């Protein structure tokens, strides 16, 4: 249920409604929109006296939320949310924010090389897994905290923000000490203990869609994070498992406009895991911008042929720079912006 407050409601009246909701067993979430203040009341049971809430001073009306997800729903917040990583890196605004880097942090020289090139090409966030959820226990599992330290150094050197994956609830504190954006991978989308833990800390979260998750299951997973009080969640479509075997996964491009209709949370696309094929990545990236994505997460490796994981889907830095130039032009047609690459030999004048 949403309690819509009158435009002139005072802070005391808002606090009184929140107190009453909590006494009735709901958890209350204040949602400050541009046009109005609403209080999302979530709980698992209907309360007999709920309708009397409309009598409290400052309350305009009560609106039931029909969707099973509540706090992530457009019903609760009609305007798009912005997730701000600081230093002008904002998801959910006009700019389509591009995150790029290797699948995994492998070594210092390679990471720093790719970070410089991602920044020069217009990327704003460096990706790289330090904890890798691998299908095989015998595959490279990541450099763990040493990898996080390298990412933090690359941030120092380039000004890029960093996004990296957490796979274990016990590591959330460690990750939040290093990362600007904490990624939940597809395999952990329904790791509810992990989602709750992420909801109780302040870092923004990038929530990937599960391998076989419906859009509703994905939004319900996001709801776990918001329900704990962290509203800074970005959704990431990364392809789903279908009968098609010529691609690693099938990019569900319709998820982008659909999620934009159903939820106020920013939505981004990972064209690399969606296809598993670097030749498809440029087309899927452009399709995502055209479909209304708020960002992209792209695997880029200085030498994809030597990558420890996901080389076949990784762009070279040169291919990435070319793609960024194309996206920069395309974004203008779509009423959005993408930061342009700096011309070779020049420095970014910002």
The least CB distance from residue 213 to ligand PEP, in Å, is: 11
Choice from 58, 110, 129, 204 touching ligand PEP (CB under 6 A): 129
CA angle 199, 201, 202 (to 5 degrees): 105
205 binds ligand PEP (CB under 6 A): no
Could you say whether residue 273 binds ligand PEP (CB under 6 A)? yes
Smallest distance, Mn ion to C-beta of residue 276, A: 9
Q: How far is the CB of 299 from Mn ion (least distance, A)?
A: 6
- The answer to whether residue 165 forms part of the interface with Mn ion (CB under 5 A) is no
Helices 317-333 and 108-121 sit at what angle, rounded to 10 degrees?
A: 30
Compute the least distance from the CB of residue 309 to Mn ion, in Å: 6
Two structure tokens written together for 37: 């203040």
Q: What is the DSSP string of 44-64?
A: SS--GGGGGGGGSTTEEEEE-
Position 130 contacts Mn ion (CB under 5 A): no
Residue 186 site contact among Mn ion, ligand PEP, none (CB < 5 to 8 Å, cut-off depends on kind): ligand PEP
Cβ-proximal residue to Mn ion, closest one: 103
User: Is 310 a residue that touches Mn ion (CB under 5 A)?
Assistant: yes
Give whichever of 2 and 186 is closer to Mn ion, judged by the CB atom. Answer: 186
Which among 39-47, 152-160, 181-189, 326-334 is the span making contact with ligand PEP, rule CB under 6 A?
181-189
Distance linking the first and last C-alpha atoms of the chain: 45
DSSP codes, 11-34:
HHHHHHHHHHHHHTT-EEEEEE-S
Ranges within 63-122 binding Mn ion (CB under 5 A): 103
Q: Does 103 bind ligand PEP (CB under 6 A)?
A: yes
Kindly list the distances between the CA atom of residue 1 and the CA atoms of 78, 110, 133, 177, 230, in Å, as whole numbers in the listed order.
Answer: 15, 51, 37, 35, 19
Closer to ligand PEP at the Cβ: 18 or 237?
A: 237
Report the alpha-carbon distance of residue 225 to residue 199 in Å, rounded.
Answer: 4
Site for ligand PEP in 220-239 (CB under 6 A): 238
Distances (CA, A) of 14 to 7, 10, 78: 11, 6, 20
Give the C-alpha distances (Å, rounded to integers) separating 325 from 46, 65, 108. Answer: 53, 42, 27
> Should residue 294 be labelled a site residue for Mn ion when binding is judged by CB under 5 A?
no
236 vs 296: CA distance, rounded Å: 9
Cross-strand pairs, 240: 250
Question: Cβ(169)–Cβ(199) under 8 Å?
Answer: no
CB-nearer residue toward Mn ion: 133 or 169: 133
Q: At closest approach, how far in Å is the CB of 308 from Mn ion?
A: 10
Stretch of 11-19, 35-43, 176-184, 307-315 contacting Mn ion, by CB under 5 A: 307-315
Instruction: Point out which span in 15-23, 90-98, 183-191, 258-266 binds ligand PEP (CB under 6 A).
Output: 183-191
> β-pairing, 161-166 with 181-184?
parallel
Distances, alpha carbon 227 to alpha carbons 19, 71, 82, 180, in Å: 17, 7, 18, 21
Cβ 129 to Mn ion, closest distance in Å? Answer: 7
Q: In this chain, which stretch among 118-126, 145-153, 184-192, 340-348 interacts with ligand PEP, using CB under 6 A?
A: 184-192
Strand order in the sheet with 37-42: 27-32, 37-42, 2-5, 59-63
**Closest CB to ligand PEP among residues 30, 211:** 211
- Tell me the number of residues near ligand PEP by CB under 6 A: 10
Binding site for ligand PEP (CB under 6 A): 103, 129, 133, 185-187, 208, 238, 270, 273
Binding site for Mn ion (CB under 5 A): 103, 310
């Amino acid at each position: 249920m949403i309690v819509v407050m009158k435009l002139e409601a005072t802070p005391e009246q808002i606090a009184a409604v929140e107190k009453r909701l909590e006494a009735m067993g709901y958890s209350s979430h204040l949602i400050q929109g541009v046009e109005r203040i609403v209080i999302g009341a979530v709980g698992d049971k209907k309360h007999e006296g709920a309708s009397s809430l409309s009598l409290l001073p400052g309350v305009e009306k009560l609106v039931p939320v029909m969707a099973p997800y509540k706090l992530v729903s457009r019903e609760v917040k009609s305007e798009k949310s912005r997730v701000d990583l600081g230093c002008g890196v904002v998801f959910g605004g006009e700019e389509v924010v591009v995150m790029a880097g290797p699948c995994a942090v492998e070594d210092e020289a390679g990471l720093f090389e790719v970070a410089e090139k991602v920044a020069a090409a217009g990327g704003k966030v460096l990706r790289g897994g330090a904890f890798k959820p691998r299908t095989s226990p015998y595959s490279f599992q990541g450099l763990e905290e040493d990898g996080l330290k390298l990412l933090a150094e690359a941030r120092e050197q380039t000004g890029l923000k960093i996004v990296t994956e957490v796979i274990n609830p016990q590591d959330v504190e460690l990750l939040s000490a290093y990362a600007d954006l904490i990624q939940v991978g597809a395999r952990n989308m329904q790791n509810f203990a992990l989602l709750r833990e992420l909801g109780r800390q302040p870092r923004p979260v990038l929530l990937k869609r599960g391998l076989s998750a419906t859009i509703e299951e994905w939004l319900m997973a996001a709801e776990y994070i918001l329900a704990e009080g962290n509203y800074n969640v970005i959704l990431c479509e990364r392809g789903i498992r279908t009968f098609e075997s010529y691609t690693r996964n099938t990019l569900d491009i319709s998820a982008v406009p659909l999620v934009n209709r159903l939820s106020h949370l920013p939505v981004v696309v990972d064209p690399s895991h969606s296809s598993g094929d670097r030749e498809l990545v440029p087309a899927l990236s452009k399709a995502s911008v055209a479909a209304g994505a708020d960002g992209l997460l792209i695997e880029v490796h200085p030498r994809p042929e030597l990558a420890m994981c996901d080389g076949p889907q990784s762009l070279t830095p040169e291919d990435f720079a070319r793609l960024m130039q194309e996206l920069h032009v395309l974004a203008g047609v779509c009423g959005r912006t993408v930061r342009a690459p700096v011309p070779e030999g020049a420095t970014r004048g910002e």
